[in-house]
Amino acid sequence: MTDWPAPRADRAVHATVEVPGSKSLTNRLLVLAALADAPSRITAPLRARDTDLMAGALRALGVSVEDSGADWVVAPQRLHGATVDTGLAGTVMRFVPPVAALAHGDTVFDGDEYARSRPMHALLDALRLAGVVVDDGGTGRLPFTVRGTGSVPGGVVELDASASSQFVSALLLAGARFDKGVELRHVGKPVPSQPHIEMTVAVLRRAGVEVDDAVHNRWLVAPGTICAVDSVVEPDLSNAAPFLAAALVTAGEVRIPRWPAATTQAGDALRGLVALMGAEVWLTSEALTVRGTGRIGPLVADLHDVGELTPVLAALCALSDGESRLSGIAHLRGHETDRLAALATELTRLGGDVTQTDDGLTIRPAALHGGRWQSYADHRMATAGALLGLAVDGVLVDDIACTGKTLPDFAGRWLRMLDA
């Protein structure tokens, strides 16, 4: 890895930035297509490391995932045991094990070094309650083996999904293929990132799956067919965060085409959050536009449902003119890295004034200076470092290539935005 000098902005940014497809939608659609009753097409999917890993995992299990120009055509097949590389993709390490439980044979899961520290015990224990044999050596983490028998009994399953909403989505996505479906009951602290569960429920219903989510913390998926549905993937709104934030930092204007008027993506919350920090925001049928006003105000917000936006928002807060308090995000300690510790460490390294709280960060104004920004192989940490570099001379991001996890050619897109 070579340190990437984050470019300093010498003028206000005025750019239109095309953001590729949503990772969250792409990987959910791939799983459903793999379990459907006929082939289907996914149009404008994200092509990045996380989605390539998902496609590779499904191919390893026997599913046909074929390129058709920029699209994917997915044809379900009889599933068999395999070896699955999860990389650092939470959706792969959480969504694929329930699929592997429906396969004939053993499937071994392993991934990147950082992936081995991510919590998995809630999902693995839930699979056991559904009648699946899982061998993890008692660690509750990667590597582990799912011993598929071709079917899963299913039924009532209790789990604590307070560490990640992906545990819920994983079981819902495959639940219709379980013999008795699945009645999933969450017990514990509130589930984070609720919009991601709403996204899962929406794509399931569109595929003809009966989902009852009328009772809080309970989801009932009836057994039945998952219908093949051709889908078009929306732009990834969370990946728009650093580009929109650049408008505030440079007192410029950034336009994101094809921003949906209605969506289940958590990133849609950016519209309100950047407005709270002083931006002018407007949405038309063609695009979302954010204009900086020359002031970055502090942010006091509960980010429990939109934790993935925290790194970029924390970077903005470090450049603001008041004390910011970001709360509701204790679960970020179990993401690609401990994002709260990482943000506190790296912002402090650049002269920031940051305190970790039980469930978030307090960030106070301070004079920042250049230095090395460590990404911890975390794509969102890397983009936060790039954002700081717009306003601070001499910021070096240690691993800008890790942004390829969900956003291909981030560095190129960033430079094109500045040169527009």
Least Cα distance to 91 among 147, 34, 169, 160 occurs for 169
Residue 164 assigned to a binding site? yes
Residue 335 assigned to a binding site? yes
Residue 147 assigned to a binding site? no
Residue 166 assigned to a binding site? yes
CA dist., res. 140 & res. 85, Å (int): 17
Least Cα distance to 161 among 131, 202, 120 occurs for 120
Tokens of 197: 């569960």
CA dist., res. 304 & res. 287, Å (int): 27
Cβ atoms of 4 and 400 within 8 Å: the answer is yes
Residue 364 assigned to a binding site? no
Cβ atoms of 177 and 35 within 8 Å: the answer is yes
CA dist., res. 53 & res. 60, Å (int): 10
Residue 285 assigned to a binding site? no
Annotated catalytic residue within 253, 308, 336, 346: 308
- Strand partners for 257: 287
CA dist., res. 286 & res. 260, Å (int): 9
154: region left, alpha or beta (phi > 0 left; psi from -120 to 50 alpha): left
Residue 177 assigned to a binding site? no
Neighbours of 249 (CB within 10 A): 22
308 is annotated as an active-site residue: yes
Residue 151 assigned to a binding site? no
Residue 320 assigned to a binding site? no
Least Cα distance to 245 among 132, 112, 391 occurs for 391
Residue 24 assigned to a binding site? yes
Residue 180 assigned to a binding site? no
* CA distance to 51, 67, 115, 142, 330, per residue, from 92 (Å): 8, 20, 11, 12, 22
Residue 165 assigned to a binding site? yes
Name the binding residues for 3-phosphoshikimate.
Answer: 23-24, 28, 164-166, 193, 308, 335
Q: Binding site: what residues are annotated?
A: 23-24, 28, 90, 118, 164-166, 193, 308, 335, 339, 380, 405
Q: Annotated binding site for phosphoenolpyruvate: which residue ranges?
A: 23, 90, 118, 166, 339, 380, 405
Catalytic residues, which ones? 308
